[in-house]
Amino acid sequence: MNNALKLSVAAAMLFSFAACEPSKKTDASTTQSDSTITTVKLDSTKFQKEIDGKKTNLYVLKNKNNIQAYFTNYGGRLVSLLVPDSTGKLVDVVVGFDSVEGFKNSTEPYFGATIGRYGNRIAKGKFSLDGKEYTLALNNGQNTLHGGKKGFQDVVWDAVQPDSNTVVLSYLSKDMEEGYPGNLKVKVTYTLTDNNELKMDYEATTDKKTVCNLTNHAFFNLNGEGSGDILGHRLQIYADQFTPVDTTLIPLGKNIAVKGTPFDFTTATTIGKRIEENNDQLKAGKGYDHNYVLNGTKAMGMTHAATVKGDKSGIVMEIYTQEPGIQFYSGNFMQSKNVFKGGAKDDFRTALALETQHFPDSPNQPSFPSTVLSPGQTYKTSSIYTFNSK
């Protein structure tokens, strides 16, 4: 490496480290190798806005391996996640925008967001507790999706960054917000460990019986934002059953075996291999948009939910959780209407989501694991997304 390049690399690393201060302008440049410098520019001033009387900002987590995770407290969003590929080059594996306005104005409201009060769908926006029926805002045809018209993806969370590895987000969802009963106090802690783990720890309490199902809706492309579709990614889901749905994506009330169906990812299979098969469930979701019932495979002291590998980058993402299910969404409703931070559009199936969760419509499905939270109880669950390259 020549002296000029050494100086350039040193300056880039120093500037990147300075990005950990959310009050300063961020232009994070990260050194990959002696011959390659990949620059990710996120100007923190574009995240310093005021929405509903509360200030938004950009928060940067970084571990000793130079992996970086960028969050904004607008919607509790994961904005960017830089991890090394098989050559050591850092790749941004999370699609998103370079400003609060980008997220706020997106036709897809869930990019990177913390989801609540209830992740996934509730049929016809109605459920009952102790004989009382509650009516929610409808925002997905005749159903409620991801909390309603103004779910947690559209609120400003209180944020504290106690160290360079952690950001803690808190939000009070008031009684009857979007139709849900109870004052729900929510805390989500995102931690980037030195073992290349992005930990998501969720907690919630309520003063009135309610339902709660929290998750994160990061859209991943392990080949990098702007690299094309995700159909070549190899996916394994540790589930023997999935939850079939009707044409509005509401569960039919039972789980069925994946064996012999296009939904069988019990062994690593490319996402695109069977996605165009003539199958009623694939037609209903316009691809994969279904809950998988995890079979309890243990690893890391948790349930091993999924493994996915980028076919171009060699980046492998492992997902572990305390939740009973994971929603696999293959980007079927991406419509090229938004421009990401790197300049690429959100083209059809250019990202996927793997959301750890309880099952969709559980409040109306007695056979599903309960999502009821009562006063005196603490909703507490964790998921871990780990990254390596092969």
Q: What are the tens digits of pLDDT across the range 330-373?
A: 999 999 999 999 999 999 999 999 999 999 999 999 999 999 99
**Is 5 among the domain residues?**
no
Give the pLDDT of residue 22. Answer: 42
Structure confidence by residue, pLDDT tens digits, 151-181: 999 999 999 999 999 999 999 999 999 999 9
Query: Which of the pair, 111 or 20, is modelled with greater confidence?
Result: 111
- Express each pLDDT in 280-289 by its tens digit: 999 999 999 9
Partner residues linked to 199 by β-bridges:
191, 384
The residue annotated as part of the active site, out of 304, 318, 355, 358, is 355
Q: For 203-250, give the DSSP string.
A: EEEESS-EE-B-EEE--B-TT-TTS--STT-EEEE-EEEEE-B-TTS-
Q: Is the pLDDT of residue 25 over 90?
A: no
So what's the pLDDT on residue 255? 97
Could you give the number of structural domains in the chain?
1
How many alpha carbons fall within 13 Å on the CB side of residue 279?
18
The yes-or-no verdict on residue 390 having pLDDT over 90 is no
In a domain, 194, yes or no: yes
Above pLDDT 70, what percent of the chain? 90
Over range 123-148, report the average pLDDT: 97
User: Is residue 332 one of the residues assigned to a domain?
Assistant: yes
The confidence band for 28, taking pLDDT boundaries of 50, 70 and 90, is very low
In this prediction, residues 247-261 reach a mean pLDDT of: 97
Query: What CATH number does residue 221 fall under?
Result: 2.70.98.10
In a domain, 23, yes or no: no
Residue 205, in any domain of the structure: yes
Q: What is the mean pLDDT of residues 132-155?
A: 97
- Cβ(377)–Cβ(259) under 8 Å? no
Question: Do the beta carbons of residue 101 and residue 46 sit within 8 Å?
Answer: yes
- The catalytic position among 217, 233, 290, 358 is 217
Return the structure tokens found at 128: 């009952």
Is it the case that residue 276 has pLDDT exceeding 70?
yes
d(CA 165, CA 356): 22
Question: Does any domain span residue 147?
Answer: yes
Task: Name, in order, each residue with C-beta under 8 angstroms of 19's C-beta and a sequence gap of 6 or more.
Answer: 26, 27, 28, 42, 44, 60, 68
Which pLDDT score is estimated for 126?
98
Which pLDDT does position 109 carry in this prediction? Answer: 97
Q: What pLDDT was estimated at residue 262? A: 98
CB atoms within 10 A of CB 228: 15
- Eight-state DSSP code of residue 275: T
Q: What is the mean pLDDT of the chain?
A: 91
In this predicted structure, what is the pLDDT of residue 41?
80
Predicted structure pTM score? 0.90
Residue 9 lies in a domain: no
Q: Hey, is 44 helix, strand or coil?
A: helix
1 is written with which tokens? Answer: 């490496």
Q: What is the pLDDT confidence band of residue 21, given thresholds at 50, 70 and 90?
A: very low
Q: Would you say 19 and 42 are in contact if contact means Cβ atoms under 8 Å apart? A: yes
pLDDT of the residue at 197: 98
355 is an active site residue: yes
Tell which residue, 270, 276, 264, has the closest CA to residue 237.
Answer: 264
Task: State which residues form the domain around 177.
Answer: 50-390
Q: What contacts 68, CB < 8 A, 6 or more positions away?
A: 16, 19, 28, 30, 60, 61, 62, 80, 81, 82, 90, 192
Mean pLDDT for the stretch of residues 117-126: 98
The answer, yes or no, to whether residue 10 has pLDDT greater than 90, is no
User: Which of 134, 85, 140, 68 has the alpha carbon at shortest distance from 110?
Assistant: 140
Inside any domain, residue 125: yes
Residue 40 binned pLDDT confidence (cut-offs 50, 70, 90):
low
> Residue 294 is encoded by which pair of tokens?
């995890």
The pLDDT value recorded for residue 19 is 37
